Amino acid sequence: MPQTLSKRTKRAFSEYLSHFSVLNQISGFFDDADIEYGTPDETISGARRSLVSGYYSSIDWDNSADVRKVISAIEIALIEIGVPNDYEGAKTEYDKLIKLLSVDGYVFVDARLTERAGSTGNMDVLLGADVLDENQITRAFSRLSGSIEDDPDAAIGSAKELIETVCKHILDELGIAYKNSTEASELVKLTAKELRLVPDAIPNSAKGADTIKRMLSNLGTISHNMAELRNLYGIGSSRSLSRKLIISLNCVLG
């Protein structure tokens, strides 16, 4: 999964810049990070917030390289602005941004903003690992579960990508070929077949055969439905989850 930033973090950075910098500074932070200026959100009030939204609009938030540019812009701003003593509440705003970045898996140390060791914010780290262990999966699951309330769109995308990542690791371990473009539901189906976690693999004479078969069938259904939710509500979609759907998602992922 691409690196990502939660909606709250993006909003906190915009507020940080709006409170403690001027227009030329804001342009400089984004320009230095090689971010182009796009079309600002007309619903956003304030010249500085509007300027930030213009730069945000040129970012593909599903693209790791683009997100890394924003991380660089934040890093530059944190270095150059820091905690301005002549602004009331500056420390509070600064600490809030640092905390939200930490939730997203980033740490600001020695004037560098880097991914925290062991962070599961970037599923590419899991996908590129030689071995995928239980602790990594647990951390990834905890991470996406913790983002349901604050950023449910990202949680849905992360859940889908986690399913894909685990399946790919299993298939790689088994030496089974697959296409990188294969959908999550197909990856689950292929993985389940190789692990004999399919209804047809359960003999009718087995104790609780019907129940076990229904459970195995539901595994594929969950992955398929998660992929559909990702298309409807995931990062990059124009739709937002209602409160009722967020509660339902908590029941599924939490």
Per-residue pLDDT 10s for the chain (254 aa) are 446 788 889 999 999 999 999 999 999 999 999 999 999 998 999 999 999 999 999 999 878 788 889 999 999 999 999 998 878 788 888 999 998 888 788 888 888 888 764 444 444 445 445 556 666 676 667 666 666 666 666 677 777 777 888 888 888 888 888 887 788 888 888 998 898 888 888 888 988 989 988 888 887 787 777 777 766 664 444 344 444 444 444 554 44
The span from the first CA to the last CA of the chain, in angstroms, equals 20
DSSP 3-state of 115: strand
Strand partners, 106: 115
Q: Domain for residue 1, yes or no?
A: no
Strand partners, 115: 106
Q: Which residues contact 125 (CB under 8 A, 6 or more apart)?
A: 115, 119
Same domain (yes/no): 12, 60? yes
Number of domains in the chain: 2
Same domain (yes/no): 140, 233? yes
Same domain (yes/no): 93, 133? no
Number of Cβ within a 10 Å radius of residue 175 = 7
Same domain (yes/no): 110, 138? no
Q: Which one, of 67, 79, 70, 86, lies nearest residue 13 by Cα? A: 70
DSSP class of 201 = G
pLDDT at 158 (0 to 100)? 73
Q: Which one, of 232, 247, 45, lies nearest residue 153 by Cα? A: 232
Q: Which pTM does this prediction carry?
A: 0.50
pLDDT at 81 (0 to 100)? 93
Q: Domain for residue 52, yes or no?
A: yes
Same domain (yes/no): 108, 127? no
Q: Which one, of 215, 222, 218, 176, lies nearest residue 195 by Cα? A: 176
Q: Are 78 and 12 in contact (CB under 8 A)?
A: no
Residues, the chain, total?
254
- Residue carrying structure tokens 């998602």: 249
Same domain (yes/no): 128, 101? no
pLDDT at 56 (0 to 100)? 97
Same domain (yes/no): 231, 150? yes
Give the H or E element holding residue 114: strand 112-115
Rounded to whole angstroms, how far apart are CA atoms 101 and 113? 9
Same domain (yes/no): 239, 139? yes
Rounded to whole angstroms, how far apart are CA atoms 37 and 53? 9
Residue 177, exposed/middle/buried by CB under 10 A (0-12, 13-18, 19+)? Answer: exposed
Which one-letter amino acid corresponds to residue 249?
L
End of a domain among 62, 83, 115? 115
Q: Domain for residue 2, yes or no?
A: no
End of a domain among 70, 86, 115? 115
Rounded to whole angstroms, how far apart are CA atoms 75 and 114? 9
> For the chain, where are the alpha helices, taking DSSP H only?
7-20, 23-32, 47-56, 64-81, 90-103, 123-128, 134-146, 152-174, 184-194, 209-233, 243-253
Number of Cβ within a 10 Å radius of residue 148 = 22
Same domain (yes/no): 25, 72? yes
Same domain (yes/no): 102, 137? no
End of a domain among 85, 115, 145? 115
Q: Which domain holds residue 232?
A: 123-253
Same domain (yes/no): 161, 62? no
